[in-house]
DNA sequence: AAATATTTGTCCGTATGTATC
DNA sequence: CGATACATACGGACAAATATT
């Protein structure tokens, strides 16, 4: 399954897992096989599995729950947030405070809306769709 | 410098390096000390340095150049892009094609502007500021 | 031109800590 | 309490890209 001469093994593994998730093999809310089993199944080391899983997590496909496993995330419904006129929209990594108060997973950025230099709103980038009037 | 009983060592190291960068110790374009030197200087292992540097990279502070080192990124000038009315703005990870064609570094997302379900533009999230009329 | 050194990338192993069941 | 599972942290080995001699 994994070709040592091609792309890095962790990228190949991430692609394989992503395909199995999107094929519905593990529905939303289900747990993926634990890391040691994936290691055995694909014949790779721990670092490879970790890198692959990190990639899936940063893409918002799975959540890692300590002591539990890797859970497939529910499909996110993006909340529509209206944007005022003359606004500037930028994306940036969240501050530690924002990560805590909004429960923002690792690797997810925030959308910041400013008007005239004043911040009007900060939203998790994976759960938000900004709509202009 | 690094307290084994406090936060994870890689977070502490990332904070220390971030502070030294923001203090101007390594100006934009300069190279940080190589990873083996950081290991010795802070008395940590390889995985710790890697995790800390990964965090700095995902925050857009440094670029990793293979065979060269870790370079402090130039402060990015965000290009202002106008957004039409009745548009929906979302952020997502780039596809491999988009990463290649726009030279998007690892960990950086893209801003997608759609109008009526049709994609009107895709922009690197770290170099773009969308402006509403 | 060619060999050597430096530096990061990837991959493997082990051990210990912590949370959940 | 014990078993399971992820988080953190230590290490080694080799490959790939770059710079230097």
Domains of chain A: 9-72 (1.10.10.10), 79-131 (no CATH)
Place of tokens 């530690």: A96
CA pair distance B122, B101, nearest whole angstrom = 11
**Does pLDDT of B107 surpass 80?**
no
Interchain CB distance below 8 Å, A107 and B111: no
**Does pLDDT of B31 surpass 80?**
yes
The predicted pLDDT at position B95 comes to: 81
Place of tokens 């593990």: A26
**Does pLDDT of B43 surpass 90?**
yes
Interchain CB distance below 8 Å, B111 and A91: yes
DSSP helix, strand, coil percent of chain B (3-state; round to 5): 30, 30, 40
In this structure, what token pair is assigned to residue A29? 């809310």
- The share of chain A scoring above pLDDT 90, in percent, equals 48
Interface mutation target, options B124, B130, B133, chain A, most CBs of A under 10 Å: B130
**Does pLDDT of A96 surpass 80?**
no
**Does pLDDT of A59 surpass 90?**
no
Greater confidence (B81 vs A75) lies with: B81
Average pLDDT over residues A92-121: 86
The predicted pLDDT at position B47 comes to: 94
Are the CB atoms for A23 and A38 separated by under 8 Å? no
The predicted pLDDT at position A87 comes to: 95
Q: Which nucleotides along chain C are within 7 A of a protein C-beta? A: 6-14, 17-21
**Does pLDDT of A77 surpass 90?**
no
**B84 contacts in chain A (CB < 8 Å):** 132
pLDDT, chain B, mean: 91
Please give the model's pTM, rounded to 2 decimal places.
Answer: 0.85
Contacts of A75 (CB under 8 A, 6+ apart): A28
- CA of B45 vs C1' of C14, distance in Å? 14
Q: Who among residues 25-54 of A has its Cβ near strand D, under 7 Å?
A: 32, 34-36, 46-47, 50
**B128 contacts in chain A (CB < 8 Å):** 90-91
Helix ranges (DSSP H) in chain A: 9-22, 35-42, 46-58, 96-102
């Amino acid at each position: 399954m994994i070709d040592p001469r091609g792309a890095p093994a962790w990228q190949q593994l991430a692609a394989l897992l992503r395909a199995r998730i999107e094929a519905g093999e593990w529905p939303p809310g289900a747990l993926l096989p634990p890391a040691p089993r994936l290691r055995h199944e694909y014949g790779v080391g721990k670092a490879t599995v970790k890198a692959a899983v990190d990639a899936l997590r940063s893409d918002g496909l799975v959540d890692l729950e300590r002591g539990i496993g890797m859970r497939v995330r529910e499909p996110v419904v993006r909340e529509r947030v209206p944007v005022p006129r003359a606004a500037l929209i930028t994306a940036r990594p969240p501050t530690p405070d924002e990560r805590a108060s909004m429960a923002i997973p690792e690797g997810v950025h925030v959308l910041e809306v400013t008007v005239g230099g004043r911040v009007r709103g900060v939203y998790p980038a994976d759960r938000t769709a900004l709509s202009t009037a």
